[in-house]
Structure 1
C-alpha cells in the first residue's frame, strides 16, 4: 500500500479553503487543531484564517530544533487535539511533522516557500546540541501551497527548491550504483517518482516568475517526498549530493541553503561519473535559476569544499555513493573541484 496525502491543493488563495479541508476530509471534525506558525508569513496567514478556526490554538515555532519540537509535543498533550497544522517554511513544517508524529496526530502542511522537498517528505531535519539530525516522521495528511505567499517569499527561497529537485538525478544514479556494486535493493516506483520530479524541472525553460513553473516545482517537491515514502528512506533523493550538503552544514554552518547546496553537490557528483551531457543539463538549469554551481558561488573556497567532500561519506556511513566508489585522495579531489570551478565559471 502507498502512503500519500489525502489532499494536495496548489493555487492562489488556497489557504482560504483550509477550514473546509479540515472538515470535508475528516481531518478535524471538531475544529480543535493546534496551528504551528513560523515567523513572517506564518503569522500573516494565521491572521487571515483565525476567524474560520475559532477552536484552534496558536503555537509559534521559534527555531527548527529538537527542543522546539519537544515543546510543541508537550503542548499537544495538554488537550484533545484532532490535528496539527504547520504553516511556514521547511523549518516550521519539520518541527510540526516531528511533534505530530510523536503525538500520533495527523498533520497538515501549509507551505509558504518551495526551498526544498521537506514539504511532503517522511523526514524532519532538526538541530540539536551537537549539530543537525534527520528523523523519520509521518507524511503530512494534506498539503496546501498558496502561490500568493510563495510569490511573496524571497526569490532564493523559491529557486532553491530547483536545486533540491534536480539533485534527484544524481541520487538515483548513486542508488543504482549501490545496487550494482553492493546488491542494495532498489524500488522502481520510488525511482519513477523521483525521476519524474527532476526531469519535469530540468526540461522547463521558464522561471519562478511563471505561475506554471511554480505549480510544476511544487508538484515536483511533493513527488520527491512521495518517492522517499515509497522507498522507506531518503535514498531516491539523497546520495553523494546530500552527503556533501550535510558535511558543509557541519563544517561551515550557515553557508547558503539546503537546496542550492544540493544542486552544487549533484553537479560535482555528476562530474565524477563522467556524464558530460547530464552535467551540462544540470549546470544550465542551475544557472538559469540563479543558483550556485561551484564552491566559489556559495561562499566557500576550493580547499574548504575539498574538506567537505572528504568528510562527506562519514555523514552517512551506511550509504554507498560515487564518493565511496571512486575513493579519491585529497589531492585528486582538489583536482576535480578545480575542474568543476573551471567548467562553471
Structure 2
C-alpha cells in the first residue's frame, strides 16, 4: 500500500529566547550553514549595526552590508554583493523590511538565509513572501523561507513598543483571512488547505486568548511563535491566502492612497475588524476589538488619523489590490452609500 505524504517547508532551526543572538556563530557551524562563518551580514538601520558589533569578534570571516530601505533596488544591490564573493549564506539582522530584502536577494542568489529578528511587527519573519517597494508602488514576491530564525527577546523588548504590538494585529488578521478563504470555498469552490488553516488559526488563537501583553516574556514567545506559524501556513498553502484576505486588501489600499498612515500590522488589525463586522460575526468582532484595545492598537479610521471619507475611499479601492482574491468585500460589492454607512458603524462600535 503506498504511503501518501507531502513535504512541509519550515525553518531548519528556531531559537526564541533572551540572549539568542549570542549563539549565532554556533548555529552557523553546528547546523552546517557555514562552518567557517563566511557569510554576508545584512543589517538594518535600527538595532542591526549594534547587534553586529557584539557578534563581529566571533565571526571574523563575515562581512557586513547595510540595508537602507525595503525596495526592489536595494534587494538587487544586496544580490549583486552576494555574487562578488563565495559566501555560504546571508544573515539578516533587523526588522521586517531588512528581512524581506535579504530573503529576496538570498533566493535570487541561491543561498540560504538566516533571519535574526529585532522586532515582531509582522509575519515576514519566516514567510515565503517579500514585500518590496518599486517605482510604481509595492509588490509581493515569492521567496524561500529562512533556513533558521533567531528572535532575541532582549532586542525585541528594546525596540519601540509600537513595532512589537503591531505583530499582534497581523496575527489576529489571520482569523479574518481564514473566514474569507472559507467564504471563497463555499461560494466559488476555491480549494482550501486545512493544514495551512490549522497553522494560521493556531497562532492567532494563542495570541487572542492571552490577557497579558508585550511586557511579558511569555507573551512575546507566543507572539513570535504565532508569526512563524503564519509564515509556515503561507508556505504550506503556496500563497498568502491563510493570512491575507479583505484585511490585507484594505491594508494595501490605505498604503496606496495614504502612505505612511500606520504600520503593516496596525492596518491589518483594523482591516480584520472591519471585515469581521461586514461578515456579521459579532462574537469574533468583540474578541478582536478587545484584543486590539488591550494592546493599544487602532480599531477604526479615527484611531488611524483618517477621515471617514478617506477610509471609505480605501474600502472602494481595496478589491483592486488583489483582483484574484475573493473576500467579503467582493461578496458584498457595497456601493458608496453602503460603504459610508459601514465605515460609520465601525467608528460607533469602537468609540
> Normalised by the size of structure 2, how large is the TM-score?
0.98
1:151 to 146, 157, 162: 157
Aligned to 1:88: 94
Structure-2 separation of matches of 1:127 and 1:40 = 19
RMSD: 0.5
The alignment status of 1:25 with 2:24, answered yes or no, reads: no
Shift of 1:26: 0.7
Map 1:190-209 onto structure 2 (within 5 A): 190-209=196-215
Indicate yes or no: 2:292 matched with 1:292: no
> Residue 307 of structure 1 aligns with which residue?
313
Corresponding position of 2:43: 37
Runs of 4+ in 1 over 3 A off after TM superposition: none
Q: How many residues align?
A: 345
Matched, 1:260 2:266: yes
Deviation at 1:29, TM superposition (A): 1.9
Asked whether the 8 Å contact 1:3–1:230 carries over to 2, the reply is: yes
SS in 1 for 2:149: strand
TM-score, normalized by length of structure 1?
A: 1.00
The correspondence for 2:257, drawn from 219, 235, 251, is 251
Equivalent-residue separation in structure 2 for 1:215 and 1:44 (angstroms):
23
Of 107, 111, 114, the residue aligned with 1:105 is 111
Q: Which runs of 5+ in 2 are unaligned?
A: 1-6
Mapping for residues 221-240 of structure 1, pairs under 5 Å: 221-240=227-246
- Aligned position for 2:191: 185
1:119 aligns with 2:93: no
Quote the Cα distance in structure 2 between the aligned partners of 1:302 and 1:225. 33
Mapped partners of 2:288, 2:348: distance in 1: 16
Instruction: Please list the CA deviations of residues 188-244 of structure 1 after superposition, one character each: whole Å capped at 9, or x if unmatched.
Output: 100000000100011100000000000000000000000000000000000000000
Q: 1:50 aligns with which of 50, 56, 60?
A: 56
Give, in whole Å, the separation in 2 of the partners of 1:16 and 1:316: 41
Give the Å deviation of 1:39.
1.2
CA distance in 2, matches of 1:247, 1:108: 31
Q: Deviation digits for residues 43-99 of structure 1, max 9, x if unmatched?
A: 010000001110111010000000100000000000111000000000000000000
Q: Whole-Å Cα distance in 1 between the matches of residues 306 and 61 of structure 2?
A: 48
Preserved CA contact (<8 Å) 1:256 1:299: no
